[in-house]
């Protein structure tokens, strides 16, 4: 397995020959191994700030004619991810600099945004009449985090454990919240974080952005 600190790199070879494809190096580019052959491979992109939560092995690549491919094992195997992509001629891939849950795909027919599958979901799922909400999603490093937890039709004093994760999917801390509003200690380092309930059927809607 590989980690973000390893000497891992990717490149594409294109030109209309059977050597076209995605190549991977694990030694600062001294040696290269083919990850997948496909004609007119045009670009490759990894998350510049660390991989998105719960999918720490992701790499995306584009092709001028076959669309987008996605690898979940650092480029060892690839599969197409073209659902909703209106043009298969991909020129470039780019992550949003401040919010790397946003991956953009520039094609000859327009600009598209890739929608990540749920791990930490961008959409809330209401289960058993319970709602978890981060009241203020942009905070400074000295400001406490306010989390609202509403329970309807169940034990109104029920508690729940939360995990706070950074962009690499690393758990920063755990916390326990009770009914109504809970005040959590400030995060001391700027960045983008996710508050994830320990119970898998719950998803937190908002990302938490900490600024200096």
Confidence of residue 72 (pLDDT cuts 50, 70, 90): confident
Q: What is the DSSP letter of 186?
A: P
Rounded-to-integer distance, Cα 190 and Cα 44, Å: 28
**Is pLDDT above 80 for 173?**
yes
Instruction: Name the token pair of 143.
Output: 């400001």
CB 90 within 8 A of CB 167: no
Q: Is the pTM of this model over 0.95?
A: no
Asked if 52 and 106 sit in the same domain, the reply is yes
As for how many domains the chain has, the answer is 2
Tell how strand 103-107 and strand 110-114 pair up: antiparallel
Residue 161 Cα distances to 1, 14, 145, angstroms: 30, 49, 15
| Domain-embedded: residue 180 | yes
**pLDDT for 95 beyond 80:** no
CATH code, domain carrying 136: 2.60.40.1930
102 and 143 in a common domain: no
Q: Could you tell me if 46 and 91 lie in one domain?
A: yes
String of DSSP letters for 40-89: TEEEEE--TT-PPTT-TT-EEEEEBTTEEEEESSTTSS-EE--TT-S--B
Angle at 21 between CA 15 and CA 26, to 5 degrees: 130
Does some domain include residue 1? no
Tens of pLDDT, residue by residue over 25-48, are 777 767 777 766 665 666 777 665
177 contacts 162 by C-beta, under 8 angstroms? yes
For 143, the domain range is: 130-211
Q: Has residue 120 been placed in a domain? A: no
Q: Is residue 121 part of a domain?
A: no
Query: Is residue 160 one of the residues assigned to a domain?
Result: yes
Same domain? For 110 and 33 the reply is: yes
What tokens does 7 get?
């000497």
Report pLDDT for 143: 92
Radius of gyration of the chain (CA): 20
For residue 101, what are the CA distances in angstroms to 6, 47, 58, 73, 212? Answer: 22, 9, 12, 18, 21
């Amino acid at each position: 397995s590989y980690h973000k600190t390893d000497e891992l790199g990717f490149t594409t070879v294109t030109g209309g020959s059977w050597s076209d494809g995605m190549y991977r190096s694990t030694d600062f580019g001294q040696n290269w191994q083919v990850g997948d052959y496909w004609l007119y491979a045009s670009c490759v992109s990894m998350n510049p700030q660390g991989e998105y939560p719960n999918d720490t092995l992701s790499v995306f690549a584009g092709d001028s004619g076959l669309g987008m491919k996605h690898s979940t094992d650092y480029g060892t195997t690839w599969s197409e991810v073209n659902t909703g992509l209106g043009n298969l001629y991909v020129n470039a891939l780019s992550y949003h600099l401040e919010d790397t849950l946003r991956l953009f795909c520039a094609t000859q027919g327009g600009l598209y945004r890739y929608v990540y599958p749920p791990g930490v979901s961008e959409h809330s799922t209401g289960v058993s009449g319970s709602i978890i909400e981060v009241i203020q999603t942009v905070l400074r490093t000295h400001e406490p985090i306010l989390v609202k937890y509403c329970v309807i039709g169940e034990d109104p004093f029920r508690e729940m454990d939360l995990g706070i994760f950074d962009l690499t999917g690393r758990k920063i801390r755990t916390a326990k919240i009770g009914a109504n509003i809970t005040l959590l200690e400030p995060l001391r380092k700027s960045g983008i974080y996710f508050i994830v309930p320990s119970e898998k059927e719950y998803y937190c809607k908002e990302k938490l952005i900490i600024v200096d």
